[in-house]
Structure 1
Amino acid sequence: MSDDKQTDEVQFGDRRDDVIRAALDAGMPCEIETWGPDPNGPLEDDSLVIGFPNGRTDRKVVIFPEDANFLYRHKFTEWTFLQKYNAVLYRDIGQIEAILVATVAAPAPINRRLMALPGVELMDESENLIDPSSVEVDPEKVKRSSTVKLADGTRVPANTRWRLTLSNESAPYSIHFTQVSKAMVSLVGGSDAGPAGNIRVSLRIDCPQVSKHDQAKEILETYSSALFFELDVKFNIALSLARRREYVGAARRTLNAKGEQQYPQLPKRKYAREAVTLYSYGRAATNTPLLQYLAYYQAIEFFFPSFHGAELLSKVRNKIRDPRFDVEDNSSLQRIVKIAGGFNRGNTGEKDQLTATLSGSLDDTHIREMVKNVLGMEEFLGKKDQIKGVPTISFAPNSQVLAQVAERVYRLRCRIVHSKADGGASSVDVLLPYSAEADRLSYDLALIHFLCQRVIACGSRGNLW
């Protein structure tokens, strides 16, 4: 991409010129991004980018000619995104719209499953209600994959527009399930059809009195969470709001910093199968950072007894090797019993066991070298308030890095699994999925992933042959 141009330097010769003027009049930032050269087209290709309101920031949207044709006919300057969601508050019509996704894999797409529920109404392309009997289906082309069976037994084409309205006289808002609107398509791109041709579905909430971003977001989150829970319980349909997540990405760590060529080898060491299973589970959980973190932690936790026991054996061995130790002396034996009693795992805190396990697997030098090879990691781990209730790590020359790492790993684990109700008034809130803090876990995941590898390697159980 070359340098951006000013909006007054470009004339598209289509409705984008009108959209630019309307956006600038409304105080919406506009940019012209130039891409090129295009081997199959002109040397340069100018794209219009408009910053739509998104809470306290803007969300950049590339406007194509077909999008501009639609936006020109509507009051798009009164539309605002709802923070991290693929959701929009249309102030001009008093409605919230949010794209939905399936939470778990299901035999049929969510469009087909929702259309089969009682109460579904059919609409034409202008979203006017129509009689199901007026929808024509070619008998020779009727296939399960191209039609949907409604609750009354009628079969209609799967791409028929529809809506399912949920309302109550005493409720302040009414809710609709339906296909994504043309307005939403013009903002998030694509078409009515999502992956594999499945029709995309949205949730719409009629709220004519709502005009503020934070209020609209609160309504969307509150009503959708209750609605999705009941749909799952009653109909086994698991839905969630589509999110446009902003990741704090960590650079890929260099596995062989010296640049030496390495060949795969037949492994000689035998690793704990249970820990490796947990480690593999964590590696697979790429889209669920909290679950991924806990999987790595549990793999480390598997070795708590062995590393905790190793420290006990070392202390007992040192006592026995003392020339003054007398097996016939009761006081000498009592000192051994006291050491063993103090190291009872039930009497040792989890943080101490974590520290002992990490200390038995690596040292400060290993951690410093790893962090050095990940761009931006040292800065992130040393910055306050990235993740509430989790201490920073200082990499100053004389700082004890391993002890700080153990403290951070343990406190972060507590944020994930405990809440205020568990830990008392001084505890911080539980770390929730999809939260801004959860989106900032990339560096901590890279750290615990590295720790997990070291612990599994050091806790290996002899040789394979």
Structure 2
Amino acid sequence: MGSTKGSLARIARGRPDVPGSAIVTPSDAEQDDELAPELRQIADRAHAAGLKVWTLRWNAHPTVAITAEPELQIDFPAGRAERRVRISRGDAADWASTDFAHWVFLGDYDAFLDRSSSTVVAALDHRSDGFGLLRREIPGLAAMPEDDPDLTPREGEEPSGTAFREPVRLCVEHPAVEGLSITIQRPPPRALRVACRAYPSSWGVVITGVATDRHDQALRLLQEIATSFFIDLDLSYGSAFRLKKDIRVEWASEPREEEPSSTKRPRFPVLTHNDDAASLYLYARTLVSAPLLEYLAYYQVLEFFMPKYARAAAVQKLRDLLRDPRFDHDDDITLGRVIETITDTDRTAGTEREQLKATVTRCLDAGELARYREAHPRGAAAMADKKRIADVRLLNPKDTSASLVEQVADRIYDLRCRIVHGKEGGNGRGEPLRPFGPESKLLTYDLDLIRFVAQRVLITSSGPATWGR
């Protein structure tokens, strides 16, 4: 690859109205005389390997002079995409010690294929549990020797940390394919800690003898071998492991619309809420990076009150019939209509969709919904776009087949079905939402909506506080 001189790069700007907002300006690293010598050497190696190399300059504000020295950005191949990695002057020594010119990052994972050694290296999620392996002292699990290269701390790592005090490695070889093995270890390989900033206290996995230099094949081998190995470890030793994804892409989604906050001083609470329902709501509010679980927790708040409001709707229908001055309890035809109404009400109220609709229409006022949509224009537009999330009800004010409040109830239920029904066509409409699928990254505005609806249901279902009386 030739020089990138003269190529155009996108400028990722911060908000100009916010002091301290950052501006990142990529420029041609080969032409940058201000780049530190340590980074210049890294840039030269990357350029010689045919990698795109940029200089990043950070400003504190669009009107303020440069306040930080330039950093380096290398665009590594990652299949049909690229993995952009930033390298500061303090990282230069660590990068200089690696053979990064042969790396191909794998999919969305914090993982890469080293084509020079036919090795795949991957980080494991920080929630992975290796204590089962450590407690049980399983055969083959051994301490890493003190002179192991992976125990060399990188810049900023504390060598006396837990991972360096109990460094362990478990290697399992394929019985028939020579050279093919899988290794799980703590700390992760040093090259991985350099490339993906993996913590030394976490775990890493290494697959050697990978007979391919192609991204897609290496990615498939990583997923299949690691997944099978992790399931075996869980079944045999109760240790749960999971491959870690790049946080920039795992939960990538649209930015949330800013919620207006009250300008009044907080008051002592005057309403009391059902403890179970309120606990579900607060649980949902504390979930991080788990959009499907968060959505279902909010749905459970609605579900908690659904029987109450479904019965209330049935009682109201019966009350309206009995209030009719023309009602004649001696007329068999009139009584037959009452029975027909009650039977029909029981049937419709028995379906979850109708129970949800009864709950939402009782607790969500059309005016409140209109004000919410006005305050959330991006969300309103997103939920009217049929190209974003398939097989869910769109929110369209021009749709005369149902009120907008009823459309909200239908959309909430449709999304719930796509999450809960874990097999293709499980809800009779479309494929399920997967935790790491592309549509799961588009739930930001639907999460805001169902949270708003859950709030309205909690408030409507609350009672006056009696404490202190």
The TM tier, using the shorter chain, reads: 0.7 to 0.9
User: Match of 1:52, SS?
Assistant: strand
Aligned pair count reads 426
Higher relative CO (Cα under 8 Å, sequence separation at least 6) belongs to 1
Aligned to 2:197: 189
Partner of 1:134: none
- The CA distance in 1 between the partners of 2:60 and 2:367, in whole Å, is 48
Q: Which residue of 1 aligns with 2:405?
A: 402
Displacement, 1:235?
1.4
Which residue of 54, 59, 71 maps to 2:78? 54
Shift of 1:291: 1.6
Cα drift, residue 122 of structure 1: 4.3
SS of structure 1 residue aligned to 2:242 = strand
Matches within 5 A, 1:128-207: 158-160=165-167, 162-170=168-176, 173-178=180-185, 179-189=187-197, 193=200, 199-207=201-209
Alignment partner of 1:303: what SS?
Answer: helix
Residue 413 of structure 1 and its aligned partner are, at CA, apart by: 0.7
* 1:200-247 deviation digits (Å, cap 9, x = unpaired): 320111243222222222222222222222222221212211222242
2 CA distance for matches of 1:37 and 1:300? Answer: 45
Q: Give the 3 Å change call, closer, same or farther, for CA 270–70 of structure 1 in structure 2.
A: closer
8 Å CA contact 2:173, 2:182 repeated in 1: yes
The one of 298, 310, 313 aligned to 1:311: 313
Give the stretch that moved more between structures: 382-391 or 298-307.
382-391
Q: Say if 1:395 and 1:5 are closer, same or farther in 2 by CA, change over 3 A.
A: farther
Letter of the 2:422 partner, please give it: S
Does structure 2 retain, via aligned residues, the 8 Å contact 1:269–1:461?
yes
Q: Which residue of 2 aligns with 1:411?
A: 414
- Residue 213 to residue 368, structure 1, CA distance change in 2 (3 Å): farther
After superposing the two structures, state which structure 1 stretch, 299-308 or 112-121, moved more: 112-121
What's the CA shift for 1:78?
Answer: 2.5
1:35 aligns with 2:37: no
* Paired letter, 2:381: E
Residues 425 and 431 in structure 2, CA contact (< 8 A), matched pair in contact too? no
Contact in 2 for aligned 1:177/1:204 (Cα 8 Å): yes
* Displacement after TM superposition at 1:128 (Å): 7.8
Task: Provide closer, same or farther for how the CA distance between residues 382 and 110 of structure 1 changes in structure 2, counting only shifts above 3 A.
Answer: farther
For residues 33 and 361 of structure 1, do their structure 2 counterparts lie closer, same or farther at Cα, with a shift above 3 Å needed? same
How far apart are residue 342 of structure 1 and its match? 1.0
CA–CA separation in structure 2 for the residues paired with 1:302 and 1:204: 46
Q: Distance in 2 between matches of 1:263 and 1:59?
A: 47
Letter in 1 for 2:194: S
Give 3-state SS (helix, strand or coil) of 1:103's partner: coil
| 1:85–1:46 Cα change, 3 Å | same
- Matched residue type, 1:16: L
The alpha carbon displacement at 1:189 in A equals 2.8
In structure 1, list runs of 5 or more residues that go unmatched.
130-144, 149-156, 194-198
CA gap 1:396/1:171 in 2 versus in 1, 3 angstroms: farther
Retained in 1: the 8 A contact 2:256–2:444?
no
Task: Give the whole-Å Cα distance in 2 for the aligned partners of 1:348 and 1:214.
Answer: 48
Q: Distance in 2 between matches of 1:128 and 1:31?
A: 30
Which amino acid is 2:310 matched to? H
Whole-Å Cα distance in 1 between the matches of residues 135 and 118 of structure 2?
24
AA matched with 1:22:
R
Query: Deviations along 1:53-97, whole A, 9 cap, x unmatched?
Result: 223222221123464445446542321222222111212211111
Distance change >3 Å, CA 433–CA 22, structure 1 → 2:
same
SS in 1 for 2:448: helix
**Alpha-carbon shift at residue 102 of structure 1 (Å):** 4.7
1:238 aligns with 240
Deviation per CA, 1:162-210: give whole Å up to 9, x if none.
42111232368420012322221221236x63xxxxx332011124322
Match of 1:454 in 2: 456
1:151 matched to which residue of 2? Answer: none
Deviation readout 1:237-277 (Å, 9 max, x if unpaired): 12211222242144354344xxx632333333332332212
Distance, in Å, in 2 between the alignment partners of 1:57 and 1:125 is 38
1:302-381 → structure 2 map (5 Å cutoff): 302-344=304-346, 348-374=350-376, 376-381=378-383
In 1, Cα distance between equivalents of 2:124 and 2:280: 31
Give the alignment partner of residue 140 of structure 2, picking from 107, 116, 119. 119
The change in CA–CA distance for 1:240 and 1:450 in structure 2 (over 3 A counts) is: same
- One-letter code aligned to 1:158: R
Query: One-letter code of the match for 2:446?
Result: D
Using the size of structure 2 for normalisation, the TM-score is 0.80
Question: For residue 214 of structure 1, what is the amino acid of its counterpart?
Answer: D
Q: How does 1:277-292 map to 2 (within 5 A)?
A: 277-292=279-294
Corresponding position of 2:28: 6
TM-aligned CA deviation for residue 18 of structure 1: 3.0
**Matched letter for residue 223 of structure 1:** I
Pair 124,375 (structure 1): closer, same or farther in 2 beyond 3 Å: farther
Shift of 1:310: 2.0
Which of 5, 16, 41 aligns to 1:18? It is 41
| Contact 1:253-1:373 at 8 Å conserved across structures | no
Structure 2 unmatched runs, 5+: 1-21, 151-159
Query: How far off its partner does 1:24 sit?
Result: 3.2
Amino acid at match of 1:231: L
CA contact (8 A) 2:426 2:432 kept: no
Aligned-pair identity in percent equals: 28
How big is the alpha-carbon RMSD for the aligned residues of Structure 1 and Structure 2?
A: 3.3
* Aligned counterparts of 1:220 and 1:73: Cα–Cα separation in 2: 25
- Give secondary structure in 2 for the equivalent of 1:241: coil
Q: 1:420, 1:428 within 8 Å by CA — same for their partners in 2?
A: no
Structure 2 Cα separation of the partners of residues 380 and 16 of structure 1: 43
8 Å CA contact 1:419, 1:428 repeated in 2: no
Q: Mean Cα displacement is larger for which, 87-96 or 345-354?
A: 345-354
